[in-house]
A and B are shown apart, each in its own frame.
Chain A
Amino acid sequence: MKQTFAIGIGGAAGQGVATPGDIFAKIFSRRGLHLNAYNAYQSIIRGGHTLLTIRTGTEKVTNMGDRIDLLIPLNQDTMDRHLQLLTAGAACIYNADTIKPGPAADGVQLCPLPVSELADISRNKVAQNTLAIGAGLRMMGIGFQSLEEVLREQFKKKGEAVVAENIGVARAGYDYAAAHFADFPDALAKTENRYAILSGNVAMAMGGAAAGVKFYCAYPMSPSTGVLHWMAAHARKAGIMVRQVEDEIGVINMTIGAAHAGVRAMCATSGGGFALMSEGLGMSAMIETPVVVINCQRAGPSTGVPTKTEQGDLWQMLGAAFGDYPRVIAAPLDIGDCFKLIPEIFNLADRFQCPGLVLCDLLLSEGRLSVHPKDLDFSPPIDRGELITSANGNGTQSASATNGDYKRYKITDSGISPRAVPGVPGHIHTVATDEHMEDGVLISDEFTNPVKRRAMMEKRMRKVAGIEAAVPPPTLSGPRDADLTLIGWGSTKGVIEEACEILNEEGVSANQLQIRWLVPLHGDAILEILKGSRHTIIVENNYSGQFARYLRSETSFVPDGHIRKYDGEPFMPHHIVEAAREQLAGKTKLSVPMHEIMV
């Protein structure tokens, strides 16, 4: 099994959980280690309870894992909630002045810090945090120098006195741990690699910039707001117009307006905002103006649990807007893929002149992952499709007179009609959300025409075949001839992968089918893969098995069992391992693992 080390830092919102998290993350990444971070929190600015888990290791760390090696509770509440989760070999560093430990399992090292003796707490309100960081790093076998470096960067804006004070406090914690606590048996490894640490939201925003997005707008909504924040902060350097809009209806319509003028335009929201955008998506499809819309799913329905994750919007995406129209829907598989997917889906949306929908979720949007810088490629292939941005042959005629033969909705074999943008001489046309003829003239108000309506419907829907051909079918990973096939989609890739590794180590051979492209689904290819599977289980983060129902509707395939979770928290590997075992033993066909961490 992979060697990893996980730290849990918990406290109330506003107690400064984020800063130690950032410091640990920086130190790990500078040691050339991979990491994965997940913050469990609530919709509150001050108070409540948050638990940040940072898991690190020399190999790729794809999820939060099953185990906390070091717990740093910043208040009594955190101690009470999580100490009992620690198992032999783990340690807990806490402020002995204010926090009392409860009963701990055998082999758990309790590390009380006499905070008021080690630091002047009247001057430094977060002294306990800094002391704990120092102590923790010492126990992990990390030299003080790397902490000093990060603290210097962290506090340099506040002046040399603050830098010196923080380094002093950290040093006191470091030295105290050396004298009083036992080190972890294995010092944290070091490699020559260097990784970027980023959230899915930052990855999608940067992926947009790499795709050539020139217009981004949004209405703030958790957990998608991070995309807006990155875009806003980097807009001027990247030459992107970023706007905050009055509502998501305005957002989708503004995005379409910008796209119609000829730039790549993108927006992001969560389920509730996406619901408001639905009518606009129909417009994008009907006027054949491509846009990319990101939905960062959170636990629904309605306002739901704004700070918790879920894969509950699949059917909303599949059914968004009325009527039939071509669309592309993809679910990124991890945070690196959040970046990579955006240029890919823009190419499809542009080529096929239809909306491209990205189905992300809070787990990826707000989680953090180490990504190799070469995987953040700012020169991806760009395909704008059949786009006319300057006058071609037609433009030689007088701009102000007729428009020649240009037909915006020309009926073609591919269903794709060359798209001229406003401002190009000789291509004047009106686009309409009403059904229209090849030249854009309405066939809905003054007259209707069943023959032409049918022809236009078929023209648009012919694009579906092209989209299918342009998107690769999914593939199976792991041993072909396994006892068990775990099927997942989107963000569960990493945790299912680790569950498969554990099962294989425990003697249950398991493989994985992870779906990235939801539309087009490639049902035939999926059936072909699953034909050879002995026992199939669909794993998803929702109540009703939305993907299982979708797969069944497209292919008639019914799996042997389901593992579902809808408590707001992501899967941990052992949830899947234990559920798979109970299903293979014939005990149940539906497992709903209990999330044992109370956050």
Chain B
Amino acid sequence: MATSVQRASQQLTMADLKGKVDPDWCPGCGDFGVLAAVQKALVELRLPNHNVVTISGIGCSSNFPGYMNTYGMHTLHGRALAVATGLKLANHELTVLVTGGDGDGFGIGGNHFVHSMRRNVDLLYIVMDNQIYGLTTGQTSPTSRVGMKTKSMPFGNIEAPVNPISLALAAGATFVARGFSGEQKHLTELIKHGIEHPGFSFLDVFSPCVTYNHDNTYQWFRPRVKKLEDDSAYDPANWTAAMEKSLLWGEEIPIGKFFERTDVPTLHGAEPVLNDGPLVHGDPKVPPDVARSFIEELM
């Protein structure tokens, strides 16, 4: 979010950030916790909500923008990051939040996920990872564990799941973190940090699906999640250490900030065309002398 952060002239409340309709998620869905944490983070950061754009793809968690009182875009399945990149480049003064699920981000949107990270687009990407397809009523997702039985793999998943944290580290994300919907305060801090990080912030959030995923429940996660922040020896500037931590799964699953570096220019920061400010505020006309030079080249 780098350069020119505008703060709200008056303190927003949680109620100010509520959208026009209430979430239609199943009672107990992990996404409620993520929504509350995002709203809390925006209140605490004092960001004016008309300068925030929440962009999603398609899926249960992708209904997210409709539940926020910020500018919002509910785009196509898997395409939120591409839309967000274009929007950010046209107006880099906007704070961009991208929200979606594991199917949206790691399945159909996998290509954009990888390339957005290497580009270091300045936005926060929150994946509500429930390891299942919910809105299509319970099929295997890219993060479903081997052996998980779903409607699409009734005899158990035989494909290895993707590891979003390792993938993000390998693809060059400059902020990589994992949260848990059941750890509100911790999650809110990660979101605030992710918004303020200059560059691509990836936040994978365990957000249990109470209807279709009976394996990875709140009860399953609670004893397993261990905050990286509790380990004073852990250094999130160390990429190799982060990669090692990302491989931990089972009895102990790390949550928190795996990795951050701030020495990589953001995509909009690296582009001299934006030196005079956001494109949307500039004069769209090509100056006459420049136009003349374009034609003279051809003569």
Contacts and interface: CB of A to CB of B under 8 A. Distances in A.
Interface size on B, as a range, is 35 or more
Given A196-B295, A287-B73, A439-B20, A432 B66 contact: yes
B12 A400 contact: yes
B280 A421 contact: yes
B65 A234 contact: no
Contact of A264 (B112, B284, B288): B284
A234 B296 CA distance: 13
Interface stretch (B27-35, B81-89, B216-224): B81-89
B90 A400 contact: no
23 contacts: A209-B294, A212-B285, A214-B90, A214-B280, A215-B86, A243-B85, A250-B82, A250-B85, A250-B112, A253-B112, A261-B86, A261-B280, A262-B280, A280-B79, A399-B50, A401-B16, A422-B71, A423-B91, A431-B74, A432-B73, A433-B75, A441-B20, A445-B63
A258 B111 contact: no
Contact of A400 (B16, B55, B91, B291): B16
A43 B69 CA distance: 52
B290 interface: yes
Interface string B111-129: 1101100000000000000
Contacts of B90: 214-215, 241, 257-263, 265
A398 interface: yes
Contacts of A260: 73, 83, 86-87, 90
Interface in B262-299: 271-274, 276, 279-280, 282, 284-286, 288, 290-291, 293-295, 298-299
Given A246-B115, A257-B90, A423-B91, A430 B71 contact: yes
A196 B76 contact: no
Interface stretch (A322-330, A351-359, A376-384, A489-497): A376-384
B93 interface: yes
A430 B66 contact: yes
Nearest to B276: A239
Given A215-B279, A260-B73, A425-B48, 10 more contacts: A254-B85, A257-B87, A263-B279, A263-B280, A265-B86, A265-B90, A373-B299, A399-B9, A423-B280, A432-B66
B49 interface: yes
Contacts of B51: 422-423
Interface string B46-63: 001111011100100001
A247 interface: yes
B131 interface: no
Contacts of A280: 76, 79
Interface residues of A, number: 78
Nearest to B67: A430
A565 B156 CA distance: 54
A212 B20 contact: no
A366 to B, nearest CB: 15
B137 interface: no
Nearest to A26: B299
Contact of A239 (B58, B72, B282, B294): B282
A238 B49 contact: no
B70 interface: yes
B227 to A, nearest CB: 33
A427 B50 contact: yes
Contacts of A247: 111
A382 B284 contact: yes
Nearest to A446: B24
A365 interface: no
B21 interface: yes
Nearest to B55: A257
A28 interface: no
A535 interface: no
B94 interface: yes
A429 B294 CA distance: 40
B19 to A, nearest CB: 7
Contacts of B294: 206, 209, 234, 237-238, 378
A245 interface: yes
10 A-B pairs closest in CB distance: A257-B86, A430-B72, A212-B284, A253-B82, A378-B291, A261-B90, A254-B86, A258-B86, A196-B298, A257-B83
A240 interface: yes
Contacts of B72: 429-431, 440
B24 A202 contact: no
B74 A426 contact: no
A255 interface: yes
A234 B10 CA distance: 43
Contacts of A249: 79, 82, 111-112
